[in-house]
Structure 1
C-alpha cells in the first residue's frame, strides 16, 4: 500500500466522530459489555481468596488453612487457568469468540454454586480450580473479541480499559465480604460465594447478542458477514473509506494457510523472539511485582502491622480496591496519549521506591510495634497498588495485543496467558509461605525482583507510541502529540521485523482481495449463466 494511502487511513481514523455521536457505536459498545466484564469474574474470585481469610466462620469451617494449604487455596484458580490455556487455543479458530465466552461463564456459575455448598476444604479448592479453568476460557478470547470489534479510533482506549473490569469484581467481592463478615453462621462465607454467580450469569444470557469478530468470520470464509458488521457499526450503515480499508485488512483472513503459517513461524525470526520476550516480561511482571501480595494475602500483611480485627481487614480490603480501580480507569483513558515505554518505566520505578519504603517500615514495626509505623505500611500498600494499577492493569492486555501481528495474535495472546497463570500459580503458592516463615524479609526478595523488571524494561522494551516509518519526521512528530490518529498492527510490526514485514503484509492483503474478487466474479458468472439458460428455456 502506498504511503499516501496509509496516511489517508490515519486521517480517516483521526477525523472520525467521537463514539458517543454515533448511535451504532454506542449500540456496539453496549453489546460488548458481556465481553468487557470477563475479567470481573476473575476479580471476584481474587477478592474471595482475600476476603474470606478475614472471616472467622470460613477459617473455622475449613480448619484454619495456613502455609502450604493456604498457598494451594490461593493458587487453585491459577492452576485451573493454566490448564485452560493449554486446551482452548486449539479450538479458538474453530468455535469463534462468543462460544468460548459462553462456555467459560457457564463454568464459573456452576463452580460458584459448588463452592457455596462445599463441605470440605478440598471440595472448595476444587471448585476454585475449575472456576479458574472457566474464567480463563472466557479470558482467552474476550479481549480479542473486544479489540477486533472496536472502532480503530477507540481501539487503544478500549483495550486498555478491558482489564480494569477486574476491579469491578474485586470491589464487589470485597464489600460483600465486609457486609457478611459479622454473621455468626456459615452464610458469612456462603453468601459471597453464591453472589459470585451474578456477573457470569449476565454474560451467559447476553453474549449471543454481541456480534462475532469480523476477522474470525473472514477467516472462516464468511467475508460478507464480516463486511456487514463493519458497515453497520463502523460505517453507520454506509461503506465508508475507512470501512473499505478495514474490509481489505479482514480479507487477509480468507487464506487459512496464512493463519497456520503464523503458528509455524512464531519462533523463526528475531522479531518474533523479541515479541515473545516482551510478552513474557509483561505477563510475569504483572503477577510477580507485588500485586498478588495485596490481592490475595492482604489480611496477612495487615496482621503483621497490627491491624488484626475482622472489621479492619475487610474494610481495608474494600477501600484499597476502590482506590486501585480509580487509578486503573484514569490510566486507561490516559495511556493512549502517552508513550508506552515511559509508562512502564515511570510506574515500575515508582513501585520500586514505594516497595522499598514499605519494606523498611515493616522492619521498623517489628522492632517498635508503633501504631504510626503500621499506618505508614498501610499507606505504602495503598500507594504501591495504585501505582501498579496505573500501568500493569491496562497494559498487560493492551501492550501484547499491540505488538503482535494480526495473523499471530492468538499465538502471542495464549503465550501471555500461559506466563500469567504459570507465574501467578507459583507466586500465589509461595507468598503465604514466605510471609509466614520469614515475615518482612520476604519483601526484600520482592524488591529485588521489581528492580530486575525495571532493568528488563529499560533495555528491551520497544516504544510503539507515535512511531511510523511511512511518514516523514514532521508527520511522525505530529502523531506523537496527536494520538487520536491511531496505528495499524502492520506499522508496529516494522519496529520488530523491518520494512519487509509491511511489504509482505500488503502482499497478503492484495492476495486476499484478489481471491475474494475471483470468488465474487465466479459467483456472478454462475448466476449470469443460470439466468441465460433459464431465459432460453422460457
Structure 2
C-alpha cells in the first residue's frame, strides 16, 4: 500500500463543519464542470498531480511481474529468500529517507517544485534501474525510486486538495487514491507484454518505463496553478487570490466561494503561525500526555501494523513464488494473472472509496479483516492440499481464485477508508506531526514485511501462511478494542470521543477564531 501526505487525506469537508458557518453555495454548477472554461482547465491539469501515487502502484506490480520473467531471473541469478527481500525492501527504505524531505522542499519552494524534485529522483532511479548491470545497481536504483516516489506522493497529495474546487475535493481525493491501482494495472500489462522479448530488454523496458509518469510531471507541472495556501504562506496573497478568482470563480472577484476560501486560508494560516512555534520535543511530549493522545498513538501504530502485516505483501510483491508453489510456473500464466488481478484490485478500490461515509470506518476495518482472514485460510488450505498432491489442479486453481479476492478484501478497509480515518482522529494542531509519525511507522513495517516474506516462503513454504491466519485474528481483536467509530460526527465531536468536552473546545479554537474574524 502506498504512503500519502496528510494534507490530501484530511477530509475536504472539514472546513465546512466549523461551528457557526457553512461554505456558501457556488454560482458555478460543478456537476457540469466541463461547461466552464477555467474549471475545465483546472480539472484537466489535476491529472498531473494525480499521477503522483501512480509510481508506487507501478513499482509493486512491476516487481511481481519481473519475478515471472525468465530473463530477469537468469540475469540476476534467480534471487530468493533474503536476496529477493532486499530487492523489494530497497524501495520502502528509500521512502523512509524521502519522508524527511517532503515538508522542507514543498513548504519552502512550493508544491510544484517539490513534486518536480521527487519526479527527477524517480526518473534518475528508473534510468539506473533500466540500465542496471548487477544486483547492487538494481537495488540502489530502487532505493532512489522509493525516495522520489514518496516525495512525489507527499507533495502531489496536498497539491490536489489545495487547488481543487471545494465542492470537488472529495472526488479528487478519492481519485488520487485509485491512481495507485492504475499504476499497478499498467505495470502488470507492461510486463505481460514484454516477457516474450528475448534478452534483457524483457525487463529493462518496464524498469525504465517506471519513470515515464514522472517525466510527464516534470514537463507539465509548471502549467498547473500553484497552491493558493502555499502562496499565502509565503506572503504572495495577491497571486493566491488571483488563482482562486480564475479557477474557482470563473473570473468573478465577488464569487462567494472565492471570498470564503480566501478568508479561510488567510485566517487559518495566521492561527497556524502560533501553533508552529511549538518545538518538536514539545509536540512529542503532547502526544504521550493525556489519555486521549495516548489512545491516538495506539490507534495509529496498530493501524500501521495492520496495513502492512496482513499478508498483503504476498500479492503486492511475491505473487510469482506463490503461483509457482501451486504449479503455475510459466511466464505467460504468471504475468497474465498479475495483470488481471491488478484490474480487480482497481475496480474494487473505486467502489469501496464510496463506502466509509455510508457504512462507517470501524465497521469497514472489521469487515475487511474478517474477509482477509477467510481468504488467507483458503489460500493456506489450497496450498497444503497441492503440496500433498501436485496433481490436484483444483487446489492450485482455488489458490489463484483467492489470490484474486485478497486485494478487494484488503481494499475494503485498508485503502481509502484508512486514508480518511487517521487524519480525522487527530486534532487540528497535531494533524501534520501525527500523520508523519504514522507514515514512518507504516514504512518501517513495510520494510519488515517485504524482507521477511520471501525468507519464510523459501524455508517453510505454505506453512508460512499459518502465521498470518493467527496474526489476523490478533489484528481483529486490536481493532475491535481500540478503534472508535468516527462516521457522522464533525472533527470537533471526534476530538470529544477521545478527549471529552474540554479538549473538544480547545481543539476547535483555531477554526472558531477564524470564523469570528470573518464575521467581524
- TM-score category of the 2 structures, normalised to the smaller one: 0.7 to 0.9
Question: Which one of the candidate residues 39, 57, 61 is aligned to 1:47?
Answer: 61
Distance 1:382 1:128 in 2: 26
Quickly say closer, same or farther: Cα 1:91–1:360, change in 2 above 3 A.
Answer: same
Distance 1:244 1:490 in 2: 24
Corresponding residue of 1:168: 182
Count the aligned residue pairs: 496
| 1:9 and 2:25 aligned | no
Corresponding residue of 1:357: 378
Corresponding residue of 1:389: 411
Corresponding residue of 1:399: 421
Corresponding residue of 2:440: 418
Question: Which one of the candidate residues 11, 20, 25 is aligned to 2:33?
Answer: 20
Q: Shift in Å at residue 22 of structure 1? A: 6.7
Distance 2:247 2:382 in 1: 54
Q: Shift in Å at residue 87 of structure 1? A: 3.9
Question: Which one of the candidate residues 218, 229, 252 is aligned to 2:268?
Answer: 252
Corresponding residue of 1:282: 303
Verify the 8 A CA contact 2:492 2:504 in the aligned structure 1. yes
Structure 1 gaps of 5+ residues are 469-488, 519-538
Corresponding residue of 2:5: none
Corresponding residue of 1:343: 364
Corresponding residue of 1:301: 322
Q: Shift in Å at residue 124 of structure 1? A: 0.8
Quickly say closer, same or farther: Cα 1:367–1:218, change in 2 above 3 A.
Answer: same
TM-superposition CA deviations, 1:16-64 (whole Å, max 9, x none): 7536367344433322222222111111121221111111111111111
Verify the 8 A CA contact 1:159 1:397 in the aligned structure 2. no
Quickly say closer, same or farther: Cα 1:105–1:5, change in 2 above 3 A.
Answer: closer
Question: Which one of the candidate residues 115, 121, 126 is aligned to 2:140?
Answer: 126
Corresponding residue of 1:31: 45
The worse-fitting range, judged by mean Cα deviation, of 407-416 and 383-392 is: 407-416
Which secondary structure state, in structure 2, belongs to the residue aligned with residue 184 of structure 1?
Answer: coil
Alignment of 1:93-172 (within 5 A): 93-172=107-186
Quickly say closer, same or farther: Cα 1:82–1:367, change in 2 above 3 A.
Answer: same
Distance 2:114 2:514 in 1: 27
Quickly say closer, same or farther: Cα 1:388–1:507, change in 2 above 3 A.
Answer: closer
Corresponding residue of 2:12: none
Q: Shift in Å at residue 319 of structure 1? A: 0.7
Verify the 8 A CA contact 2:423 2:435 in the aligned structure 1. yes
Corresponding residue of 1:77: 91
Q: How high is the TM-score relative to the length of structure 1?
A: 0.84
Q: Shift in Å at residue 144 of structure 1? A: 2.1
The worse-fitting range, judged by mean Cα deviation, of 206-215 and 503-512 is: 503-512
TM-superposition CA deviations, 1:299-348 (whole Å, max 9, x none): 00001111111111111111100111111011123434331222212122
Distance 1:225 1:232 in 2: 11
Verify the 8 A CA contact 2:106 2:112 in the aligned structure 1. no
Quickly say closer, same or farther: Cα 1:329–1:440, change in 2 above 3 A.
Answer: same
Q: Shift in Å at residue 210 of structure 1? A: 2.5
Distance 1:324 1:144 in 2: 24
Which secondary structure state, in structure 1, belongs to the residue aligned with residue 354 of structure 2?
Answer: helix
Alignment of 1:511-522 (within 5 A): none
Corresponding residue of 1:480: none
Question: Which one of the candidate residues 271, 290, 297 is aligned to 2:292?
Answer: 271
The worse-fitting range, judged by mean Cα deviation, of 373-382 and 263-272 is: 263-272
Distance 2:20 2:517 in 1: 26
Verify the 8 A CA contact 1:283 1:396 in the aligned structure 2. no
Distance 1:44 1:452 in 2: 31
The worse-fitting range, judged by mean Cα deviation, of 77-86 and 318-327 is: 77-86
Verify the 8 A CA contact 2:24 2:257 in the aligned structure 1. no
Q: Shift in Å at residue 140 of structure 1? A: 2.0
Verify the 8 A CA contact 1:162 1:394 in the aligned structure 2. no
Verify the 8 A CA contact 1:252 1:513 in the aligned structure 2. no
TM-superposition CA deviations, 1:369-420 (whole Å, max 9, x none): 2100100011111111122123322233332233334443322232232122
> Which has the larger Rg?
1
Distance 2:359 2:32 in 1: 21
Distance 1:12 1:454 in 2: 42
Alignment of 1:314-325 (within 5 A): 314-325=335-346
Structure 2 gaps of 5+ residues are 1-15
Verify the 8 A CA contact 1:157 1:336 in the aligned structure 2. no
- Give the root-mean-square deviation of aligned CA atoms: 2.9
